[in-house]
């Protein structure tokens, strides 16, 4: 009889233990997904002014908890706490390009840092005349809620190659920090072509081969009228930006290295943005199936980039690749000289 009671007791304890663990994992999962879910109704902050809680990312909530802890330690008043309510701030840094250089990967990886808040969508404020005409308040309201000590970052790769953009950004903030992520120019041009090709194929449309677009059939020279080639002449675009901003306000990110060895590149960006080092190897893990690094925010919430990233490039005639690399070489050398960063491009 005693033995049966002991067995029954053990079974009960196992059931209760399982329920407790299950509940704990559920709660952790809920916390890990707060920044991806939106509540049905807006909630007024218990700490200050009313704002739409749905637009307040989890990292902002975590950041505020840290701030409140510091205030309490220093016996700060409630009014001082209210001064640190979240607001929609203009960006303090912008990833201005380059298209197909890894702008989305860079933004998502920087978002691992608790002091960084990202704009989820490309705003296209400075390169789109219709959006720009709506004014700076319209742009600000497109930004996520964040705290004064945090850095809001947006990315729109078209900024880098659009003539009007440097002056427009300068008028908004002449001391803003600008991030440019680049890849080996020929590889970037082929990646650019591949994205357009995929879009055409989805619509059952035909498209020229890369070789026919990149090489002028009349002269057999590189076709600089082809946008994918023109975008890869980085130094030409950078020179236009340097009319408004000193080189010290730019940071060049090696997009090829960000794919294979992301942490050192992210640490350089942290330093450039004057952020305390927070991103570690724990936050980055290699996904063998995808062939890319994915992001780990906590023990529950992981994130990989969309499946459209890392498209397989079509085969390109090696002689065309050689011709393009030879064409880009002098521009690359000038780019290294201007930026002070030498990249291992052929």
> Which residues make up each annotated binding site for 3'-phosphoadenylyl sulfate?
100-104, 183, 191, 293, 309-313
User: Is 200 a catalytic site residue?
Assistant: no
Binding residues: 100-104, 183, 191, 293, 309-313
Name the active-site residue from 12, 64, 78, 100.
Answer: 100
Residue 138 three-state SS: helix
The C-alpha angle 254, 268, 238, rounded to 5 degrees, equals: 50
Cross-strand partners of 293: 286
Q: Which residues are catalytic?
A: 100
């Amino acid at each position: 009889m005693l033995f049966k009671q002991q067995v029954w007791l053990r079974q009960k304890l196992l059931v209760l233990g399982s329920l407790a663990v299950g509940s704990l994992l559920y709660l952790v999962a809920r916390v890990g997904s707060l920044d991806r879910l939106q509540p049905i109704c807006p909630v007024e902050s218990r700490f200050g002014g009313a704002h739409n809680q749905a637009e307040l990312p989890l990292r902002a909530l975590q950041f505020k908890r840290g701030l409140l802890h510091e205030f309490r330690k220093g016996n700060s008043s409630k009014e001082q706490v209210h001064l640190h309510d979240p607001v929609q701030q203009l960006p303090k840094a912008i990833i201005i390009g380059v298209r197909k250089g890894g702008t989305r990967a860079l933004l998502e990886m920087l978002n691992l840092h608790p002091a960084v808040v990202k704009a989820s969508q490309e705003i296209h404020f400075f390169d789109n005349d219709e959006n720009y005409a709506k004014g700076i308040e319209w742009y600000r309201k497109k930004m996520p809620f964040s705290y004064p000590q945090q850095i809001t970052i947006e990315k729109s790769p078209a900024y880098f190659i659009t003539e009007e953009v440097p002056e427009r950004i300068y008028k908004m903030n002449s001391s803003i920090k600008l991030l440019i992520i680049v890849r080996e120019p020929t590889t970037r041009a082929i990646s650019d072509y591949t994205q357009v090709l995929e879009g055409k194929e989805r619509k059952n449309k035909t498209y020229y081969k890369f070789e026919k677009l990149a090489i002028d059939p009349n002269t057999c020279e590189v076709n600089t009228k082809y946008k994918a080639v023109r975008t890869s002449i980085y130094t030409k675009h950078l020179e236009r930006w340097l009319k408004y901003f000193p080189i010290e306000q730019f940071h060049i990110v090696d997009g090829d290295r960000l794919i294979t060895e992301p942490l050192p590149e992210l640490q350089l960006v942290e330093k450039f943005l004057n952020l305390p080092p927070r991103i570690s190897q724990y936050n980055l893990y290699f996904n063998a199936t995808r062939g890319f690094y994915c992001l780990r925010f906590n023990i529950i919430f992981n994130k990989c980039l969309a499946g459209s990233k890392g498209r397989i490039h079509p085969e390109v005639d090696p002689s065309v690749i050689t011709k393009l690399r030879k064409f880009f070489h002098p521009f690359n050398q000038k780019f290294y000289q201007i930026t002070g960063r030498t990249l291992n491009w052929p």
